[in-house]
Chains A and B, each alone.
Chain A
Amino acid sequence: MVKVFKFFAYCAFFIVALYLFFPKENLYYKMQETAVQYKVKVFENQIKENLFSLELLDGKLSYEGVEAATFQKAEIRLLGFYNSVHVYSVTLSGVVKNFLPQKIEWIDVSYSFLHPLEVRLLAKGDFGRVEASYAIKDNKIIVNLHPSKMMQMHFRSSLREFKKLKNGVYYYEKSL
């Protein structure tokens, strides 16, 4: 029993040490390079390396050269068993202003060992609240939207893409 405890303690120590010494900033650059292959570019004004996370401050996201969004802060945590990206104060590009409210308070994208076949996304903003997931195995996106009053009043045409459920939730599903 003591040996098993020791083994796990050493493993935990090693993981923590590895995380401390791992060049997180360079790993982010690698992610940036990978994203470019999918025509997605992430830029930031400042990078802050924390003990267990990497922070990007005043960033921009563009797709195919068109600016898609700006964000105040993004916090990346890659712990292996739990990986997440929290993005705060997102402003969507003017391109979407006719489809969606531009302000998003936060977006949380996570992937954990507990749900190995699913990438989860939660977000809250002027549009309301959204719980979405990407099923890796089925290559499918599922979105549950709890629209705000503003969304229901001014962006009704966008809601037409969703299926309204009895509990007031708007559901969207698409196989990629």
Chain B
Amino acid sequence: MKNHSNSIYIKIIIILLFLLLLAKSIGVVALWLLPTHGIAAQTGESINMPYVRVDFHNMLANTTKTQQALQHNSLSKTLDINNLVLKALYGKGNYGFVIIATKRNPKKTTLLSVTESYEGYRLKAVFLNYALFTKRGQEYTLRLDSTLATKSLVHVVQNDTTNQIVQRDEINGYVKNPSAVWRDISIQEIGKNGNFKGFKVTKIRAGSPFAKLGLQTGDLIVKANNIVLKSYNDVLKIYQQLDKLRTLTLVIKRGNTEKEIVYEIN
């Protein structure tokens, strides 16, 4: 009788041990399959100037070499690209595109944006009457085809800077009552799939502070306080810090011109 009851207990213990082992095995498999660490906390882009850690020793040690390299790049390595023809250009600096073709087939043109490549040449920047390309670390200048260089073909972006003074009360009014922002102005994201162009002003209420600030319907806001606006979050970040800002700089595109408006908040 005693032996029988003992065998029952042993059976129960064996089953429990088996279940424990099974649970532990599942746990181990799960541990193997699941990630071992979490995502790292990242802070967003600051609206203030970024903090950059620089090795001061290296800066001093390489100054001469860097200057020489720069001179070398800007003078001796800047070459004309003889087999390409620059038909037209649009924009200025890092914003813009060019229409380019080869001399062999000048009618077959290609539209090239800044950072895109053509025949191995990467468009670096667009200037008044020439475009700057890079290839294998060297810089090349391609001037506008002189036969085509008429005013009608050259769309030059003019940088226009306007300074305005804004009363903090007006800003605080918007901070306290955010619905007033959307009552006075409507903006819309322009661009898709990572090719973001900015925020288009679709409506401005006449007589509102926004209208007085020089913004117009159709303006494309591309930058605010040196931050390239890529999503509503970027706008939100600026809005969150609005009451602490002393200046607000907006870069807008209006038609073919780029305008910078600097608001000094008093």
Contact = CB atoms under 8 A, between A and B. Distances in A.
A21 B26 CA distance: 8
Q: How large is the interface on B (under 10, 10 to 19, 20 to 34, 35 or more residues)?
A: 20 to 34
B35 A21 contact: no
A128 B263 CA distance: 40
Mostly helix, strand, loop or mixed at chain B's interface?
Answer: helix
A139 interface: no
Contact of B23 (A14, A28, A29, A44): A14
A29 B36 contact: yes
A29 B35 contact: yes
Contacts of B35: 26, 29-30, 33
Interface in B6-48: 15-16, 19-20, 22-24, 26-28, 30-31, 34-39, 41, 44
B205 interface: no
Interface string A137-174: 00000000000000000000100000000000000000
Interface residues of A, number: 30
Contacts of B67: none
B169 to A, nearest CB: 16
Given A21-B26, A23-B27, A32 B38 contact: yes
Contacts of A17: 19-20, 22-24
Given A65-B44, A98-B176, A26 B236 contact: no
Interface of A: 10, 13-14, 17-18, 20-23, 26-30, 32-33, 36, 41, 43-44, 60, 64-66, 93-95, 98-99, 157
Interface of B: 15-16, 19-20, 22-24, 26-28, 30-31, 34-39, 41, 44, 175-179, 231-233, 236-237, 239-240
